[in-house]
Amino acid sequence: MNPSETPQKPMISIVAPVYNEGEGIHKFYERVRDTMDRIGEPWELVMVNDGSRDNSLEQMRLIHERDPRVRLLDFARNFGHQIAVTAGMDYASGDAVVIIDSDLQDPPETIADLVQKWREGYEVVYAVRRKRPGETWFKLMTAKLFYRTIYRITEIDIPLDTGDFRLMDRRVVNAINNMREHNRFIRGMTSWVGFRQAGVLYDRHAREWGKTNYPLRKMIKLAWDAVTGFSFFPLRIAMYASFWLFILSVLGIPIVSLLRLATGIQFFEGQATSIVVILLLSSFQFFFFFVMGQYLGRIYDEVRGRPLYIVADTFGIQRQNGERHRAPQPPPVDMQGEDGSKG
Which residues in this chain contact ligand UDP in the complex, by CB under 6 A?
17-19, 21, 50, 78, 80-81, 84, 101-103, 105, 212-214
User: How far is 18 from 311, CA to CA, in rounded Å?
Assistant: 14
In the list ligand UDP, Mg ion, none, the entry touching 111 (Cβ below 5 to 8 angstroms by class) is: none
Nearer to ligand UDP among residue 69 and residue 207 (C-beta): 207
The correct pick among 49, 52, 86, 105 for binding Mg ion (CB under 5 A) is 105
Question: Which CB, 103 or 225, lies closer to Mg ion?
Answer: 103
Nearer to ligand UDP, 88 or 234 (CB): 88
Helix (H, G, I), strand (E, B) or coil at 309: coil
User: Looking at beta carbons only, is 51 or 199 nearer to ligand UDP?
Assistant: 51
* Region of 304 on the Ramachandran plot (φ > 0 left; ψ -120 to 50 alpha; else beta): alpha
Interaction of residue 191 with Mg ion, rule CB under 5 A: no
For residue 338, give the H/E element and its range.
Answer: none
**Alpha carbon distance 234, 293 (integer Å):** 11
Smallest distance, ligand UDP to C-beta of residue 46, A: 13
The alpha carbon dihedral of 299, 301, 304, 305 has a sign of negative
- Residue 75 β-bridge partners: 311
When CB distances are held under 5 to 8 angstroms depending on the partner's kind, the choice from Mg ion, ligand UDP, none that residue 102 binds is ligand UDP
Is 338 exposed, middle or buried (CB count within 10 Å of its CB: 0-12, 13-18, 19+)? exposed
Contact of 59 with 102, CB cutoff 8 Å:
no
Chain centroid to Cα 330, Å, comes to: 27
Q: Which residue, 223 or 256, is less far from ligand UDP as judged by CB?
A: 223
Minimum distance, C-beta of residue 60 to ligand UDP, in the bound complex (Å): 12
User: Residue 183 Cβ, how far from ligand UDP at the closest point, in Å?
Assistant: 14
**Minimum separation from the CB atom of position 48 to ligand UDP (A):** 7
Which residues lie closer than 8 Å to 14 by C-beta, 6 or more apart? 32, 36, 43, 44, 45, 46, 97, 98, 100, 108, 111
Select from 65-73, 97-105, 188-196, 267-275 the region that touches Mg ion (CB under 5 A): 97-105
For Mg ion, the closer of residues 18 and 46 by Cβ is 18
Applying CB under 5 A, the residues found at the interface with Mg ion are 101, 103, 105
